[in-house]
Structure 1
Amino acid sequence: MENAENIIDGGKVRVEDGLPKPTTVKELETIYKQLDLPHQSSETVRRLLQLSLLKVIQKDTIQPNYQMTPDTIGMLIAYLIEQIVGLDQPSTILDPVVGTGNLLTTVMNYLAKVSKQPVQGYGIDNDESMLAAASVSSELQGLPLQLIHQDAISNLDVPQVDLAVADLPIGYYPLDDNAKNYQTKAASGHSYVHHLLIEHTMNYLVPGGFAFFVVPSDLFKTKESENFVKWIHSVAFLQGFINLPTDMFRNAEAQKSILILQNHGSGAYQAKQVLLGTFPSIKDQRAFRSFMTEINQWVKTSLNR
């Protein structure tokens, strides 16, 4: 983190209480110049920062909910947005659990590259360390990203947005008083935090806006799923539920999927068929291209009038 902040400050190493030593300062400043980040693309900078953070994560014990969203998932979501939402619509995007910002900035870079126009991002997180990483990352990438430190299960200081993405944490939300006004709250005891986050995020989407959530593949197989599905039908259209490649996960219990919801309003309607399936392994290029073709065909036949 200190290295990133030094680079933002023009490549000058901060010295406090005589540390780092002059020889180390000289070495670091030489390395900073060699990076030449101002002349690199935002995506190149993002990947460099991701690799650096991964090295830190490998050395430290990091909670599962603190792990960075893999690039593969970010690129798959970005591709789905391009095909389903289009590139002339989204100008604002929200991630209510932004963490280090890897998912959000992956999508923002992809959309900006393909559409040739910037997308304003908003990121929420209650972990200061994660937000600090997201802050230096977005600044080094030159991305218009506003980051807010707060509990996402509360009123958010953001405008309504065109699009939302989130790699949701899994588990129970401990503050029952905060959850009591949510339709997706549990009948008794603590509520699922991913249910609450999905409901709250949809409140900040414009009518007809899309959200792409990374969720457990057993999302609709829990005791709370009946009430959760009932809530979805009351406010949104369930347009897709796609399993991520199975080889990305250690076991079936860890399997995740992409949930695609679209807010009611602004001419939105339920697709003729919900987009279902499983992404093949990225390693199987032929099967992967075939599945992408199926998605494109679904957009033409089921989503477009």
Structure 2
Amino acid sequence: MEQSNVETLFERLDNLTETVQQYMNETYLDSLATVLEAVFEGEPQQGLEDQLKDIPETASYEVIEIRKAIQLAILKGMKGATQEQHLMTPETVALFVGYLAGKLTNDQTDIRVFDPAGGTGNLLMTVTEQLKSIAKITAGEVDPTLIKLAVLSANLQQKEIEFFHQDSLRPFLMDPVDLVVSDLPVGYYPDDIRANDYQLKADEGHSYAHHLFIEQGLNYTKEGGFLVFVIPEFLFDSDQSDKLHAFLQENAHIIGVLQLPESAFKSEKNRKSILILQKTGPETVALKQPLLAQLPSFKNTEAMNDILTQINQWFKDNMNK
């Protein structure tokens, strides 16, 4: 069977990355960043001429093929990663978030998009591929390896994205946006002093990072703007969920909650949902009937088409008037 362009490019990136990794004795992801830098520059870094003899040209590849090949390499590098927040949003989930983002922004032009927990940028790039008219894309990420991979991936795809290398729960120097998308980092936030700036801080002990990220997302969303979060399934069942409920009631309208299929995640404890919010404003109104759905397996085409027909109808009836 003939190899696809994605597989061919991935194999070349993977072989070079493994060569650099053995030579430099560092992690696969750090070596991948070195390889992507050489691909972007069109020449190897000094001292790596022997290891990076055969750098692939990306001009003959489509942008989506470049993104997917880099995504495969990152996924390989993350297989050994122990940190939960280093896991990439599954491609099917990212595509579905993009579909919802397209529905929410419908006829809008010059859309400004922000991901406060950008990671390697795959979710953000997959979503913005599906939006019609974009004015600006911004991302925040604290991890130096992940943000380096995100910047190189964006450069190779010729996407203009402004990246902030910082703790994303600190203030950003940016204007509010029309759309926030993010796969929320789950766990405790260690900086209790910084957490004090948030309404969703814990009454005692460490605060939940995933709660603070929701508040931070709303801080940088325009009135009437939308937020699409990939959330842990237990978000509304945790010990601090009463506070979260009250905060959302005051600052946002819940547009929908979509339960993602179990098959999209490795284990039940990793299972996630999608939460859609609209920031309140003078012209916004709470929906009588939010969009609530349990998604079938993405592989079940018939069931998926059926649920998409229902979701499209829901948007027609409730949002696109």
TM-score by length of 2: 0.86
Which residue of the partner structure matches residue 25 of structure 2? none
- Over the residues paired in the alignment, what is the CA RMSD in angstroms? 1.6
1:110-131 deviation line (CA, Å, top 9, x unaligned): 22xxx2x444211101111110
* CA distance in 2 between partners of 1:40 and 1:118 (Å): 23
C-alpha deviation, 1:154, in angstroms: 1.2
Conserved in 2, the CA contact under 8 Å of 1:96 and 1:152? yes
C-alpha deviation, 1:250, in angstroms: 3.5
Matched, 1:8 2:24: no
Matched, 1:147 2:153: no
Q: 1:51 aligns with which of 72, 89, 102?
A: 72
**How has the CA–CA distance of structure 1 residues 90 and 271 changed in structure 2, closer, same or farther, with 3 Å as cutoff?**
farther
* CA distance in 1 between partners of 2:99 and 2:52 (Å): 42
C-alpha deviation, 1:87, in angstroms: 4.5
* CA distance in 2 between partners of 1:67 and 1:103 (Å): 12
Which residue of the partner structure matches residue 259 of structure 1? 275
1:145-198 deviation line (CA, Å, top 9, x unaligned): 000111111111222111000101111111111111211111211111000010
Q: 2:150 aligns with which of 107, 111, 134?
A: 134
User: Runs of at least 4 residues of structure 1 off by over 6 A?
Assistant: none
Describe the SS at the equivalent of 1:110.
coil
TM-score by length of 1: 0.90
Conserved in 2, the CA contact under 8 Å of 1:90 and 1:163? no
1:68-117 deviation line (CA, Å, top 9, x unaligned): 11111110001111123314246210000101101001111122xxx2x4
Aligned-partner residue type, residue 279 of structure 1 = L
Conserved in 1, the CA contact under 8 Å of 2:113 and 2:137? yes
Q: 1:38 aligns with which of 59, 74, 87?
A: 59
Q: How many residues in Structure 1 have an aligned counterpart in Structure 2?
A: 289
Q: 1:290 aligns with which of 297, 302, 306?
A: 306
C-alpha deviation, 1:243, in angstroms: 0.7
* CA distance in 1 between partners of 2:205 and 2:186 (Å): 16
* CA distance in 1 between partners of 2:235 and 2:109 (Å): 29
Describe the SS at the equivalent of 1:14.
coil
C-alpha deviation, 1:266, in angstroms: 5.3
Aligned-partner residue type, residue 76 of structure 1 = F
Which residues of structure 1 form unaligned runs of 5+?
none
Conserved in 2, the CA contact under 8 Å of 1:241 and 1:275? yes
Q: Percent identity?
A: 35
Greater Cα offset, 216-225 or 202-211: 216-225
**How has the CA–CA distance of structure 1 residues 49 and 266 changed in structure 2, closer, same or farther, with 3 Å as cutoff?**
farther
**How has the CA–CA distance of structure 1 residues 125 and 266 changed in structure 2, closer, same or farther, with 3 Å as cutoff?**
same
